Amino acid sequence: MSRSRFARSEGRRLFGSDPAVYDSARPGHATRVYEVLVERCGLGPGASVLEIGPGTGQATRRLLDLGANPLVAIEPDPALATYLDESLGGRVELHVVALEDARLPAQTFDLAVAASSFHWVEEESGLARIFAALRPGGWFAMWWTLFGDGEEPDAFITATSLLLEDLHSSPSAGDVGRPSHARDSEARFAALATTGFQEIGYELVRWQASWDTSGIRALYSTFSPIARLEEEHRTAILDGVARIAEEEFGDRVERTLLTATYTARRPQ
């Protein structure tokens, strides 16, 4: 049975309630992603970059370190935008608006990126706006860090499944009968190609991360199907996650993560 899904408009406002917890609990993104951005997409000193949904800036900081200048960020959540602006000391040109409503300069950016955020965007409209904002020959990269979406069973997901079985799903779950949004390469390729992108590529990276009990509880508090719940229900689930981590995993949860990365180019 498929789960009911909540709207993108709701999800866009879920992560600003405690940005510091989100920033510390989330593991960031695979090193390989940034290698792809440099080697394939031309990221380097002086590259003009557009970032969609920077959140707390985990990817933003690496983009700046690797030379993005200027870096323009589109963030619809005012609380996240404030956190990002303060934590980065104003180094990013920040627009507090959804991508679908943003006014972007035409044919300006060398690279556009979306780090674990593009499932919150209406795909057809969002891709069209990005395509128009890229200079001819410019690149778009979108990626998602996934928790337990591989072929091998994830022991912690198995142990916590009863706690989470009745929750609504986010758009990241994908369409009924299809892989998750990030792993549905056929659908993502089709959307990119229909928009006009070429040289479309896909890479799936496996990497490792671990959390202690308090860390895994904090991580689960940032998952949108949990973050949207009323406080009592949310707390009960998070306490259950912590109990399982402590009692069944000895205060150390090791996870294999997957990062699904797509790259595509606007034709010259």
User: Worst-scoring range by mean pLDDT, 42-51, 146-155, 165-174?
Assistant: 146-155
In this prediction, residue 236 carries a pLDDT of 97
Q: How far apart are CA 167 and CA 120, in angstroms?
A: 18
pLDDT tens, residue by residue, 96-119: 999 999 999 999 999 999 999 999
Q: How far apart are CA 229 and CA 167, in angstroms?
A: 9
pTM exceeds 0.95, yes or no: no
Q: How many domains does the chain have?
A: 1
Antiparallel, parallel or unpaired: β 253-265 and 134-147: antiparallel
What percentage of the chain has pLDDT greater than the value 70? 98
User: Worst-scoring range by mean pLDDT, 37-41, 64-68, 97-101, 163-167?
Assistant: 163-167
Does 89 reside within a domain?
Answer: yes
Q: Are 37 and 201 in contact (CB under 8 A)?
A: no
Amino acid letter, 78: P
Does 60 reside within a domain?
Answer: yes
The parent domain of residue 202 ranges over: 8-148+175-209+256-265
In this prediction, residue 14 carries a pLDDT of 78
Q: Is the pLDDT of residue 2 over 60?
A: no
Does 217 reside within a domain?
Answer: no
- Sequence-ordered list of residues with C-beta below 8 angstroms from that of 105, at least 6 positions apart, any chain: 133
pLDDT tens, residue by residue, 44-100: 999 999 999 999 999 999 999 999 999 999 999 999 999 999 999 989 999 999 999
CATH number at residue 96: 3.40.50.150
Q: Is the pLDDT of residue 242 over 50?
A: yes
Does 159 reside within a domain?
Answer: no
Does 247 reside within a domain?
Answer: no
Q: How many residues does the chain have?
A: 268
Q: Is the pLDDT of residue 204 over 80?
A: yes
Arithmetic mean of pLDDT over the chain: 93
Does 117 reside within a domain?
Answer: yes
Mean pLDDT across the stretch 231-239? 97
Does 224 reside within a domain?
Answer: no
Does 236 reside within a domain?
Answer: no
